[in-house]
Amino acid sequence: MFLFKRKDTNRTLPKHIAIIMDGNGRWAKKRSMPRSAGHVAGAKTFKDIARYCNKIGLEYLTVYAFSTENWKRPKDEIESIMNLLRDYLKDAENFKSDNIRVKFIGNLEPLADDIKELIKKDEEGSKDATGLKLNIAINYGGRDEITNAVKKIVKSGVDAESITEQTISDNLYTSDMPDPDFIIRPSGEYRLSNYLIWQSAYAEYWFSDVLWPDFKPHHLEKAIDEYNHRNRRFGGV
């Protein structure tokens, strides 16, 4: 019921995979390179993995590119990530030919005006794509998202007793998509870091020591293989 047939094999796919793209800094440090070089390599991996997910027929992929907490990083590092985002957005035509629909989730308001413009253009330009639905989380924080949802609900003047879990879900950035079934975090960290905390209540998790820039399609395949052996009961028996 929760599994989808892959395009290229008879194996099954989760409907929605979410990835925490972690380990760029350590990847660069291991090579005595600046952290920004790790993000450049991470951005390449992101594009390769998104294309691979599209190729195998995944329906939803959501990646964590910048969190509400990442503003605490040095200014030049933040700028390097924003510039990679700019490059990616300007390169959106390439993704168009891939038939990937792109959507950004997070509080986009504090982003630079040119980035916001490019995001609008990119979302609009890819809205009719029928392949992978790619969500990029920027200035995203799960607690921030839930706080904003509560504000919206209170402002709507709804009767408190009529609020259900669905009311909360309907007011999140992800209201138009299913919850992630599978969360992948490379780089040897075993935490969620404020990522999709409401949506991942029943998700399966997969961790690996590989650093994000070294993450290849075969790692994803290994993760999916493991997912296929998980027994999801959603609180039942």
Which residues of this chain interact with ligand FPP, rule CB under 6 A? Answer: 21-26, 39, 42-43, 46, 65, 70, 81, 84-85, 88, 136
The active-site residue out of 8, 10, 22, 128 is 22
- Alpha carbon distances (Å) from 1 to 9, 14, 101, 118, 182: 18, 10, 24, 37, 15
- Alpha carbon distances (Å) from 160 to 148, 198, 214: 16, 19, 48
Look up residue 173 and give its DSSP letter: T
Query: Which is nearer to ligand FPP, 34 or 57 (by Cβ)?
Result: 34
Q: Shortest approach of ligand FPP to residue 236 CB, angstroms?
A: 35
The active-site residue out of 8, 70, 135, 209 is 70
Query: Which is nearer to ligand FPP, 46 or 140 (by Cβ)?
Result: 46
Residue nearest to ligand FPP (CB): 25
Q: Shortest approach of ligand FPP to residue 215 CB, angstroms?
A: 10
- Which H or E run includes 12? strand 12-14
Q: Identify whether 228 is a catalytic site residue.
A: no
Q: Identify whether 70 is a catalytic site residue.
A: yes
Q: List the one residue out of 16, 220, 12 whose CA is nearest residue 132.
A: 16
Look up residue 180 and give its DSSP letter: P
Beta-ladder partners of 136: 63, 104
Q: Shortest approach of ligand FPP to residue 85 CB, angstroms?
A: 5
Q: Shortest approach of ligand FPP to residue 22 CB, angstroms?
A: 5
Strand pairing category for 12-14 and 3-5: antiparallel
Query: Which is nearer to ligand FPP, 80 or 171 (by Cβ)?
Result: 80
Query: Which is nearer to ligand FPP, 14 or 25 (by Cβ)?
Result: 25
Question: Per residue in 155-186, is it b (16+ CB within 10 Å) or e — as a string?
Answer: eeeeeeeeeeeeebeebbbbeebebbbbbbbb
Q: Shortest approach of ligand FPP to residue 216 CB, angstroms?
A: 15
Query: Which is nearer to ligand FPP, 21 or 149 (by Cβ)?
Result: 21
Separation of alpha carbons 235 and 138, rounded Å: 31
Catalytic residue ranges? 22, 70
